[in-house]
Amino acid sequence: MSEPIKQERVYSGIGVSPGVARGTIFVYNVAEEVVPNYDITPEQVPQEIARFEQALIVTHQQLHELQQRIATGIGPAAPTSILDVHLSITQDPALIEPVITRLNQEKKNVEFIFNEVTRKYVKTLAELPDEFLRERAMDVQDVTRRILRNLLGRETRTLHNLPLNTIIIAYDLSPSDTSSLDRQHIVGFATDVGSHTSHTAILARSMNLPAIVGLRDASQHLRTGDMAILDGYGGSLIIFPSEQTFSIYGELEVKHHTIEERLAALRDQPAVTLDGHRITLAGNIESPDDIPMLKKGGAEGVGLFRTEFLYLNRKEFPNEQEQYEKYVRVAHDVKPHAVIIRTLDLGGDKFHSAEEAPTEINPFLGCRAIRFCLARPDIFKTQLRAILRASAEGNVKIMYPMISGVAELIRANEILDEVMADLRREKISFDENVQVGAMLEVPSAALTAETMANEVDFFSIGSNDLIQYTMAVDRVNEKVANLYEPTHPAILRLIRNCVEAAHNNNIWIGVCGEIAGDPLYIPLLVGMGIDELSLAPTSLPRIKDVVRRLTMSEAQELAVAALHATRGREVTAMLTALLQRIDPDLLA
């Protein structure tokens, strides 16, 4: 029987790490571990606890070695802080104590108890409303699987000893999987799930490995040994590419290499339009270890320092000194530029602490971000003290998340004033003129921005949540994701309202959501009057290139036309036409 003709097929996803890879596919399936379930005697409990403790120690050592390999293999810009979270999980009382408690209560083998506890642990994190935090469930799952394998005495999975020019295809890859990739043999990877902000995507960019996420169920249909081209720019995976396709991608690689060289040359150039209008381009970070990447991209400081990671996977809240050391390190390293530190953007349901917060029916609309901080001023004040102490560096700004109205803003500032008064009494230095800003990410804030502008020094539009809340769309829900539309007339009117409120009151306004890092939307944001854009460091050169090829006058004309449009796709068409004219390479 003759072999079927191998026709070219294309799978579409999201390109999260640029580059083109050619090679053969290796489908990486992660089988669930078979976990035994048997009774033990009360006398065996101490022995089971000792086995558990040894597995935690071994896992911690493995992760530390892996962290060292990342730093050695990738270099000083390596995001080794990714595994700091993993290391902390191996010492997390919220994970360890329930296992020991249930061992004593249920008298079952430790593998079974541990597996039951971690399933609940991961499920809780995966159901959080914040997409960025939901993706951290993968980190927890990665570590707990490693602990489980050590308990079972099974070898840690690796992606070594694969043929040259291998393209990994998987449902998902954990940070450990990605970190252990043999970069001499593996040329790229693609996963069914994931996003730009997943740790796997971050590591791929750091390792300069072309990568695609969001291929849905491609791993179920592909076979090891299939020939493929992986396009990390456009997010396409081409199986059995034709000679013509090979030729097209050969030309594409040469073209993109030329573009990357051109963009790299812009690193130290200002983001100024052709007619002299200046835009500030800053970077989003989550750890001091992200600063080298920030500088490599040519950022003018930190527009969003997420502080949530200091609070996750631990029983006790981080103390003032621990927070201060992180904040002051970033402030020192980005001088003379500024760092905007966002106060805690979590909710009570997201803490694995001794005090169990009640499960909320709808955490998206629950006690989170500034609401949680105002409900727990003790936690809020500790963070504000740490930030204010770091502000003695002279370049720190404070930003409150998820403000819904002026009352919350006034109360937050009252607490800030109380903390300042305490520091003065204690003769502790801080910046008396520290700037304070509010994130506008719910419709009520965007609609009443005029009433809040007198209470702050700046606004920053959190476009991801603003779009999500305005459109009543969970953007990671495939059934309604098509309704998540940044160019919807409602969104544009809300942004215009925020800009007018800011400028009428002589304060500046930025955007720190995903649209700030997408070249397509830059002319619109510039034309609407946005003063600052904060984005992923890797996207900075592309955005700077668009700004420098644009005139403020044409951006303003486009913004006026966009605000008169009745459908989002009309605006998208305008933006595409403009970008095609001024910077067609980036559009391609």
- The β-bridge partners of 230 are 21, 237
Pairing label, strands 532-535, 280-285:
parallel
DSSP 206-264: HTT--EEE--TTHHHH--TT-EEEEETTTTEEEES--HHHHHHHHHHHHHHHHHHHHHH
User: Mean pLDDT lowest for which of 3-12, 373-382, 521-530?
Assistant: 3-12
Q: How far apart are the first and last CA of the chain?
A: 43
Q: Which residues are catalytic?
A: 199, 512
pLDDT over 70, % of the chain: 87
Joined tokens for residue 402 = 């998820």
Give the domain-ending residue among 220, 240, 262: 262
Task: Note the pLDDT of residue 349.
Answer: 40
Residue of higher predicted confidence among 80 and 515: 515
DSSP 249-304: HHHHHHHHHHHHHHHHTTTTS--B-TTS-B-EEEEEESSGGGHHHHHHTT-SSEEE
On whether both 510 and 478 belong to a single domain, the answer is yes
Give the domain-ending residue among 262, 284, 305: 262
Residue 169 placed within a domain = yes
Residue 140 placed within a domain = yes
On whether both 503 and 531 belong to a single domain, the answer is yes
On whether both 294 and 254 belong to a single domain, the answer is no
Residue 2 placed within a domain = no
- Provide the CATH number for the domain around residue 139: 1.10.274.10
398, 369, 354, 367: which is closest to 308 by C-alpha? 369
Average pLDDT over residues 273-282: 97
Task: Note the pLDDT of residue 1.
Answer: 47
On whether both 308 and 381 belong to a single domain, the answer is yes
208, 207, 205, 181: which is closest to 195 by C-alpha? 205
Backbone angles phi, psi at 273, to 5 degrees: -70, 165
The amino acid that residue 80 corresponds to is: T
Residue 291 placed within a domain = yes
On whether both 502 and 514 belong to a single domain, the answer is yes
Centre a 10 Å sphere on the Cβ of residue 240 and count the other Cβ atoms it contains: 14
Task: Note the pLDDT of residue 70.
Answer: 61
Task: Note the pLDDT of residue 157.
Answer: 62
294, 303, 286: which is closest to 267 by C-alpha? 294
The percent of the chain in helix, strand and coil, each rounded to the nearest 5, is: 50, 15, 35
Task: Note the pLDDT of residue 353.
Answer: 41
On whether both 511 and 398 belong to a single domain, the answer is yes
Residue 392 placed within a domain = yes
d(CA 64, CA 278): 44
Average pLDDT over residues 147-170: 84
Task: Note the pLDDT of residue 76.
Answer: 44
- Provide the CATH number for the domain around residue 493: 3.20.20.60
Contacts of 422 (CB under 8 A, 6+ apart): 385
Centre a 10 Å sphere on the Cβ of residue 75 and count the other Cβ atoms it contains: 10
- Region of 246 on the Ramachandran plot (φ > 0 left; ψ -120 to 50 alpha; else beta): alpha
Give how many domains the chain has, as a whole number: 3
Where in the sequence is the domain holding 442, given as residue range(s)?
265-587
Vertex 212: Cα angle to 211 and 213 (nearest 5):
130
On whether both 451 and 564 belong to a single domain, the answer is yes
Task: Note the pLDDT of residue 249.
Answer: 92
Give the domain-ending residue among 152, 185, 203: 152
The amino acid that residue 423 corresponds to is: L
Instruction: With beta carbons less than 8 A apart as the criterion, state whether 157 and 135 touch.
Output: no
Average pLDDT over residues 149-163: 78
Task: Note the pLDDT of residue 538.
Answer: 80
Write out pLDDT tens, residues 490-509: 999 999 999 999 999 999 99
Backbone angles phi, psi at 10, to 5 degrees: -125, 130
Write out pLDDT tens, residues 84-122: 667 778 888 878 889 999 999 999 999 999 999 988 878
- Provide the CATH number for the domain around residue 198: 3.50.30.10
Write out pLDDT tens, residues 228-265: 999 998 899 999 999 999 999 998 888 888 888 899 89
Residue 339 has pLDDT above 70, yes or no: yes
Vertex 204: Cα angle to 201 and 208 (nearest 5):
140
Write out pLDDT tens, residues 345-403: 875 444 444 344 445 555 567 777 899 899 999 999 999 999 999 999 999 999 999 99
167: part of which helix (H) or strand (E)? strand 166-170
Task: Note the pLDDT of residue 211.
Answer: 93
Residue 542 to residues 72, 107, 150, 281, 295, Cα–Cα distance (Å): 28, 58, 44, 11, 15
On whether both 374 and 522 belong to a single domain, the answer is yes
On whether both 275 and 254 belong to a single domain, the answer is no
On whether both 258 and 185 belong to a single domain, the answer is yes
Task: Note the pLDDT of residue 183.
Answer: 76
Task: Note the pLDDT of residue 75.
Answer: 47
Count of helix runs (H) and strand runs (E) in the chain: 24, 16
Pairing label, strands 227-231, 236-239:
antiparallel
Residue 3 placed within a domain = no
| pLDDT band at residue 79 using 50, 70 and 90 as cut-offs | low
On whether both 59 and 127 belong to a single domain, the answer is yes
On whether both 136 and 203 belong to a single domain, the answer is no
| pLDDT band at residue 197 using 50, 70 and 90 as cut-offs | low
Residue 427 placed within a domain = yes
- Region of 194 on the Ramachandran plot (φ > 0 left; ψ -120 to 50 alpha; else beta): left
518, 497, 520, 517: which is closest to 509 by C-alpha? 497
Instruction: With beta carbons less than 8 A apart as the criterion, state whether 187 and 166 touch.
Output: yes
Query: How deeply is 392 buried, as exposed, middle or buried, from its count of CB atoms within 10 A (0-12, 13-18, 19+)?
Result: middle
Residue 1 placed within a domain = no
Residue 163 has pLDDT above 60, yes or no: yes
User: Mean pLDDT lowest for which of 315-324, 402-411, 412-421?
Assistant: 315-324
Mean pLDDT, all residues of the chain: 87
